[in-house]
Amino acid sequence: MALRSQGGLFLPAMLVLTLAFTSFRAEVVDEAGKSIPLHETYLHHWLVGKYYQRQDMAENNGDQKIQPENYIFGGNSGICQGTTLRQYFGLGSETRKTDTHIPDPYAIEIGNPAEIPEGYDEKWMINVHAIDTRGAVDRLGCTECRCELYNVTVDEDGQTLRPDYKGGISCCYDQTRCKVRKGYEGARRSLYLRYTVEWIDWDCGIIPVKVFIFDVTDTGKRLNVSIGSSPEIGCQVEFDVASCSTGSTVSDGCIDVHRTSLTMPVGGSVIYGVAHQHTGGIGSTLYGEDGRVICNSEPIYGQGKDAGDEAGYIVGMSTCYPEPGSIQITAGENLVLESNYSSAQKHIGVMGLFYILVADRTPNPTNFWHSPIHIHEKIKVSKSSLAVVSLLGLAVVGAGLRHRQKKGREEEGYEPIMA
């Protein structure tokens, strides 16, 4: 069964203090904390986003949908339409071997009272989508969410899928099941999304960064009030890769090349970059207007069976950490994003995203943190939680929370899954 849910992220005192996000890591584990391999439970994605909740509203317990009249969505600085791709952090199968730390003295600012609308509280949530592929007749097809394997003809809202939509997240929403071998009975088990958040208290020495997420399917077209996607408007998020034998794709040999032009709304110094691709991806590059390479990010494929090294799966993406001030982008600059996939076989519902963090200034030597290391461990339990995804079982609400301080603070949370 595929479940895609969201719930509150446990962060301390964010309504009182302005904090600085410096890292977010996550993976799927069992009750003993053992990492679960992707060939058993595939982590399609986890996303961390910000929103503002009316102060007179009860806490969202993760079981109810967010009602637009009670919430204001707070997205990143990216250029996609509406609420599309507006998360601050997000990874998929590559989560275990992709570096997400934001280098000193930069950080993502959260809880700034000047940015919180009057009468609202700032909140953060995690959206998780994972798929249990034990017993699947076609593991790759299940992870690519091919519609025929899920026996789906309508999306999560009951709308009929367009005839040319062969697979993607519209076919593997909550409670959908991918086809398994005849007679297969998977044992139920408890799984968790373990996440670790690192932060420090905000001070004048920290340089805030803006988060931009670019999409290689971005058509560049926009409407004044556009939420979601259409074949003509903005970021489509997903695309298909035809086999090179069909000759129906832009390719060089058996390499499918997708490329788009993007206009940068603001200027600044790039301090981090990473791409997001699915199985079949062979790398992505973001270029400046003059053809210079801003960042090249390549997938790391596993070679074995253990978690973090699963053969045939992308288990990491290389990242870029330019020297401060060495990679500059100007406001209005036209960037080019290129995402390459192997087309030796067809792929459905893949992605070609690129994250960059941009700062409007470079640090002075006095900016860097020199905080002593403090360690503090604590266990909490909360009813406000995120239901994580599984194929054969049901999601369970509840969470154990653990955090410690280390050059600021590090918080570790566990979100339950039944599979």
What average pLDDT does the segment 258-267 reach?
96
Residue 345 phi/psi, 5° resolution? Answer: -140, 160
Q: Are 190 and 36 in contact (CB under 8 A)?
A: no
Q: Which of 28-32, 37-41, 134-138 has the lowest mean pLDDT?
A: 28-32
pLDDT, one tens digit per residue, over 266-308 is: 999 999 999 999 999 999 999 999 999 999 999 999 999 999 9
Q: Which of 42-46, 200-204, 246-250 has the lowest mean pLDDT?
A: 246-250
Sign of the four-CA dihedral 419, 7, 84, 301 = negative
Q: What domain range is 166 assigned to?
A: 2-418
- The span from the CA of 118 to the CA of 54, in Å, is 9
* Whether the predicted pLDDT of 80 surpasses 70: yes
Asked if residue 163 has a cis previous peptide bond (ω within 30° of 0), the answer is no
pLDDT, one tens digit per residue, over 328-378 is: 999 999 999 999 999 999 999 999 999 999 999 988 766 555 443 222 222
Q: Which two tokens stand for residue 265?
A: 């709304």
What average pLDDT does the segment 164-184 reach?
93
In this prediction, residue 249 has a pLDDT band, given cuts at 50, 70 and 90, of: very low
Q: How far is CA 186 from CA 135, 172, 181, 183, 387, in A?
A: 7, 19, 11, 10, 20
Q: Are 273 and 296 in contact (CB under 8 A)?
A: no
In this prediction, residue 224 has a pLDDT band, given cuts at 50, 70 and 90, of: low
In this prediction, residue 187 has a pLDDT band, given cuts at 50, 70 and 90, of: confident
Judge if pTM exceeds 0.95: no
Q: How many domains does the chain have?
A: 1
pLDDT, one tens digit per residue, over 102-122 is: 999 999 999 999 999 999 999
**Higher-pLDDT residue of 230, 407:** 230
% the chain with pLDDT above 70: 77
Burial letters 264-285, b for 16+ CB under 10 A, else e: beeebbbbbbbbbbbbbbebbb
